[in-house]
Amino acid sequence: MLTNYLKFLDYLMGNLNKYFTLQAPYIKCAKGCAKCCSNGDYPFSEMEIKLLQIGFDKLDEDTKNIILKKIDSIKKEKTNFKGEGSFTYACPFLINNICSVYDYRGIICRTFGLIYIKEGSDKMQIPFCAYDGLNYSNVLDKEKGILSEEKMKALGLTEEPKAYNIHYNFVTSKRVGEAFNFDYGRRGSLIDLLSDNPKFSLKDK
Ligand code: SF4
């Protein structure tokens, strides 16, 4: 199962690398930028957690302990959360603005940053980091939440960037798993899946 998921990841990354290259004029992703890992809910599946666990196992003991303590504290914060909206947090695997399990990261970590469409909709979805001066900010009309033709023209860009069908729900759909002969398993927020996995519990250390 994991072998087939890895084959799928190779295929996905081949496409994503192409997309990021084609959209280079709009992309500001760089090492040390961790906007997308600093405040979110991070949808994950059991299959993605399996891979993450392999990356975690390769870390040194000190780093593992830092991560386990972060997980423990996020779990407590989530239990006590009484705010409005959904609970968000910095990913526990983010250390000094660098992903400690980069090669083993999840699907959402890989697809984030590109404009996308949701299946069945024509509406372009712009990544939230555009509003913080990052990807696509050079062509964003902030007030309208759309891409600005004037800004594109000023940059000599004649075509709108293509929006790809890379929404998390599609990429992790049963259909995609079946095509590559694996099952994503249960899905949920990263912190919930980690909480249910004894490997990521401080008590088990
Ligand atoms: S696993 Fe890594 S890339 Fe994904 S959200 Fe966490 S720190 Fe970011």
Question: Domain extents for the chain?
Answer: 2-204
Position 158 pLDDT exceeds 90: no
- What is the Cα–Cα distance from 116 to 105, expressed in whole angstroms? 20
List pLDDT tens digits, range 84-118: 899 999 999 999 999 999 999 999 999 999 999 98
122 or 156, higher pLDDT: 156
CA of 187 to the centre of ligand 1 (A): 16
- What is the Cα–Cα distance from 8 to 176, expressed in whole angstroms? 9
Query: Quick check: CB of 104 below 6 Å from ligand 1?
Result: no
Position 203 pLDDT exceeds 80: no
List pLDDT tens digits, range 40-67: 999 999 999 999 999 999 999 999 999 9
Average pLDDT, the chain: 94
Look at the pTM and tell me if it is higher than 0.85.
Answer: yes
Comparing CA positions, the residue from 105, 117, 109 lying closest to residue 166 is 117
Query: Quick check: CB of 105 below 6 Å from ligand 1?
Result: yes
**Cβ-based neighbour number of residue 200 at 10 Å:** 22
List the residue whose alpha carbon is closest to atom 2 of ligand 1: 99
Give, for ligand 1, the residue of 9, 49, 71, 101 to mutate: max count of ligand atoms closer than 8 Å to Cβ: 101
List the residue whose alpha carbon is closest to atom 3 of ligand 1: 109
pLDDT band (50, 70, 90) for residue 205: low
User: Would you state the pLDDT for residue 204?
Assistant: 56
User: Would you state the pLDDT for residue 165?
Assistant: 93
Sole residue written with tokens 């980690």: 194
pLDDT above 70 coverage of the chain, percent:
99
CA of 56 to the centre of ligand 1 (A): 12
